[in-house]
C-alpha cells in the first residue's frame, strides 16, 4: 500500500493536493522552484491563497514537507503527481515547456532509483502530449522503459479555484488515463483512499483521458453560452425571465440545471483556453469544431455587447460602480474577468469608474491601469455611485439592501447580471433596477410581438 507521495508544483492546485493527501494520511513531499513557497510549506503555512489551504497544511504539517530537489522527492516517494503550468501559446495549443523540464528532472531521479516509480501528470495537455511529448523524456533521462522501470498516468482534476480542496475530496468522478494496468491500478487505489464520496474512477488510454479533460470544459462553456443566448431572448418578450426558463429546462435529466443560469460571459484561466485548444487540435487532425469555435466567438463578443446595452443608462457625470472584479465569486483571479473588462472599457469611454471586490482588489489593480479607482470597501463604492453593476454573486453583494443603495434626491440605476437582488430591489421607486435576462419593458416587448404576429397574419392572409 502506497504511503509516500510527492507533488511537483506547489501552485493553487498542487499545494491543495499536497494538503489533501496529508489530511488523508499520506506522507507528502512537495517540490517547487520557488524557494519562498518551499519555506512557507515547511513552516506549515500556505504558499498561495486558496480556501482552507492554510488550515489543511497547518493541521497536517507533520506529514508535509517541501524541497526544491526533484531527486529528493522522487527518492522519498513511490508516486509523483506533476502539476505545473501548461500555458496556452499563440495558436491555442498548450506549451509543454514546464512539464518537459519537470519530467527531465524526475527522469534523472528515476534513473538513480532501484524500485518502481509512478509518474502522474495532472496538468492540462492536448491528446498525444503525454505519450509522445513526455514519456520519451522520462525514458531518455532514466535509461528505463515505461511500464517496466516506471509507470505513467494522466489524471487531471476537475476543480474550481476557491473550492479546490472540497472539489478534490468530493469529485463527480476521477479521470485516469493509464499507460498500462499496473500504473492505473496503483493510482485508482490511492484515489479510493483520498476521495470521500466513492466517486467512480473512469479509466482509459492516455489519449482518451487528455481529450476528455478539455471536452468537459468545452461542453460546460457551450452550456453557459446557450443560457446567455436564452437570457437575451427573455429580455425581448413580455414577462421574460431566464430563471423561469432555466429552471424548467434544467429539470430535464438530459440537460441539468448547473451552468444554465444566463448572466454574463465566462472567464478564468481554464474555460476560455480549453475551448480554443479543442479547436486547435481538431484543425491539426484535419477536422473542424464549429460548435466550439462559435461558443468562443460568442463569449468574446458578449462583454462588448453588454457595454453597448448599458451605455444608454450612463449619463454624463455619472459614477459607475463595478461590484465584482474576479472572474467568479470568492476568488482572487481576474484572468478573462468580465468585471475587469467592463470597468476598463467604461473608463476608457469616459465614465468615472469605481470598483470593489471582496478578494480580488489587488489582482485587479495589476490588471487595470488608467482611471479605474479600486476602493477598499463596498460602502465607499456605493456612496460614490449613481450606476451600479453587479457582476458576481459574492455573498457580500447578496446582502445589499435598498438603504445601502439609495441616495437622498437621487435615483440610482442598478444592473444586476445574476438577479441576486431581484426580490429586494424590483419595484422600488428610488432605484432603476435592471435584472439581466428578464423583461424590463413589457409594453415595448408586447408591441414587438404584436408587430411580429401582425406581420405573420398579413402574410398568411
Query: Which residues sit opposite 31 in a β-bridge?
Result: 8, 67
Separation of alpha carbons 266 and 336, rounded Å: 8
Q: Which of 343, 88, 395, 305 is nearest to 217 (CA)?
A: 88
| 289 close to 221: Cβ distance less than 8 angstroms | no
Q: CA-CA distance, 84 to 13, in Å (whole number)?
A: 9
Positions annotated as catalytic residues are 270
What distance in Å separates the CA atoms of residue 173 and residue 155, rounded to the nearest whole number? 11
In 312-406, which residue ranges form alpha helices assigned H by DSSP? 338-348, 361-367, 378-384, 395-398, 402-405
Q: What CA–CA distance (Å, rounded) separates 104 from 136?
A: 10
Where do we find the cell 441616495?
Answer: 407
CB of 439 closer than 8 Å to CB of 241: yes
Q: Are 331 and 296 in contact (CB under 8 A)?
A: no
Q: CA-to-CA distance for 180 and 163, rounded, in angstroms?
A: 32
How far apart (Å, rounded) are the C-alpha atoms in residues 320 and 316? 11
Cell of 368: 487595470
Three-point CA angle 421, 423, 429, nearest 5°? 90
Instruction: Indicate the SS3 state at residue 458.
Output: helix
Q: Cα(189)–Cα(207) distance, rounded to whole angstroms? A: 21
DSSP annotation of 410: B
Amino acid at each position: 500500500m502506497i504511503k509516500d507521495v510527492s507533488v511537483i508544483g506547489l501552485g493553487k492546485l498542487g499545494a491543495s493536493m499536497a494538503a489533501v493527501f496529508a489530511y488523508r494520511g499520506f506522507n507528502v513531499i512537495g517540490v517547487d522552484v520557488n524557494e519562498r513557497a518551499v519555506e512557507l510549506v515547511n513552516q506549515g503555512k500556505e504558499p498561495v491563497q486558496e480556501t482552507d489551504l492554510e488550515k489543511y497544511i497547518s493541521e497536517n504539517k507533520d506529514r508535509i514537507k517541501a524541497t526544491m530537489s526533484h531527486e529528493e522527492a522522487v527518492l522519498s516517494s513511490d508516486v509523483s503527481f506533476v502539476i505545473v503550468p501548461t500555458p496556452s501559446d499563440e495558436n491555442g495549443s498548450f506549451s509543454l515547456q514546464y512539464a518537459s523540464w519537470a519530467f527531465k528532472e524526475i527522469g534523472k531521479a528515476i534513473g538513480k532509483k532501484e524500485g518502481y516509480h509512478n509518474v502522474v501528470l495532472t496538468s492540462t495537455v492536448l491528446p498525444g502530449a503525454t505519450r509522445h511529448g513526455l514519456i520519451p523524456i522520462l525514458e531518455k533521462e532514466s535509461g528505463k522503459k515505461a511500464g517496466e522501470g516506471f509507470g505513467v498516468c494522466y489524471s487531471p482534476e476537475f476543480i474550481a479555484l476557491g473550492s479546490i480542496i472540497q472539489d478534490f475530496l468530493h469529485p463527480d468522478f476521477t479521470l485516469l488515463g493509464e499507460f498500462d494496468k499496473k500504473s492505473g491500478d496503483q493510482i485508482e487505489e490511492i484515489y479510493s483512499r483520498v476521495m470521500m464520496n466513492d466517486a467512480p474512477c473512469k479509466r482509459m488510454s492516455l489519449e482518451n483521458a487528455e481529450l476528455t479533460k478539455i471536452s468537459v470544459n468545452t461542453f460546460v462553456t457551450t452550456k453557459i453560452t446557450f443560457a446567455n443566448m436564452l437570457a437575451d431572448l427573455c429580455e425581448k418578450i413580455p414577462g421574460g425571465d431566464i430563471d423561469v426558463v432555466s429552471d424548467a429546462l434544467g429539470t430535464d435529466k438530459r440537460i441539468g440545471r448547473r451552468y444554465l443560469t444566463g448572466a454574463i460571459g465566462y472567464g478564468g484561466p481554464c474555460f476560455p483556453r480549453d475551448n480554443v485548444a479543442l479547436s486547435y487540435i481538431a484543425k491539426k487532425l484535419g477536422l473542424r469544431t464549429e460548435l466550439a469555435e462559435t461558443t468562443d466567438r460568442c463569449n468574446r463578443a458578449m462583454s462588448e455587447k453588454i457595454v453597448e446595452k448599458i451605455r444608454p443608462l450612463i449619463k454624463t457625470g455619472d459614477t459607475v460602480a463595478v461590484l465584482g472584479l474576479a472572474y467568479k465569486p470568492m476568488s482572487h483571479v481576474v484572468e478573462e474577468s468580465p468585471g475587469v473588462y467592463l470597468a476598463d472599457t467604461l473608463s476608457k469611454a469616459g465614465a468615472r469608474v469605481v470598483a470593489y471586490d471582496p478578494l480580488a482588489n489587488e489582482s485587479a489593480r495589476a490588471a487595470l491601469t488608467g482611471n479605474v479607482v479600486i476602493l477598499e470597501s463596498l460602502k465607499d463604492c456605493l456612496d460614490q455611485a449613481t450606476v451600479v453593476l453587479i457582476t458576481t454573486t459574492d455573498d457580500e453583494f447578496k446582502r445589499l439592501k435598498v438603504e445601502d443603495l439609495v441616495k437622498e434626491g437621487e435615483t440610482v440605476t442598478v444592473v444586476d447580471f445574476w438577479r441576486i437582488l431581484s426580490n429586494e430591489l424590483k419595484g422600488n421607486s428610488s432605484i432603476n433596477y435592471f435584472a439581466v435576462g428578464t423583461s424590463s419593458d413589457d409594453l415595448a416587448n408586447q408591441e414587438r410581438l404584436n408587430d411580429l404576429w401582425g406581420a405573420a397574419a398579413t402574410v398568411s392572409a
